[in-house]
Amino acid sequence: MRVSLTVNGKDRADEVEPRLLLVHYLRDVLGLTGTNIGCDTSSCGACTVLVDGESVKSCTMLAVQAEGTEVSTIEGLASDGVLHPLQEAFREHHGLQCGYCTPGMVMAASSLLAEHPHPSEAEVRVGLEGNLCRCTGYHNIVKAVLSAVAP
């Protein structure tokens, strides 16, 4: 089947197997390997991307279901060699260790802040509950997200 969509601002059109997952399309067809796979039950959130601005676990969606959408991945966040403020906040507050959950976590956090520009700590914790991290205990992730809140 043919799928046409926009990924990180670029138009894409590819012939794909109907069963191909969006995450595999991003990783294997487009070579955007920043989006990671951490489970097979849409539980961990490592594969979180934005589809038309909403955070979506890209292992839970077929590539063909993304027809006509705008997809944003971690590769599209930094621009001109400068980290996005949220990426910078994760670095500043040591919100990552092994970094495997990080792309998904950052995308989920960016979606959270888009919807709730001034979240409380509790709202950040609930907002990120679909993204698992095994290294940080979330303490510094929460701190990073709160620090990235627009003044």
Encode burial over 68-79: b for 16+ CB neighbours within 10 A, e otherwise. ebebbbbbbbee
CA–CA separation, 116 and 80 (whole Å): 27
For binding to other proteins (CB under 8 A), which residues are involved?
17, 19-20, 24, 27, 31-41, 43-44, 46, 73-75, 77-78, 83, 87, 90-92, 94, 96-103, 106, 121, 124-126, 128-143
CA angle 122–126–132, rounded 5-degree value: 125
**Toward other proteins, which CB reaches closer, 17 or 115?**
17
Q: How far is the CB of 12 from other proteins (least distance, A)?
A: 17
Q: How far is the CB of 28 from other proteins (least distance, A)?
A: 8
**Toward other proteins, which CB reaches closer, 98 or 114?**
98
Tokens describing residue 75: 């590769």
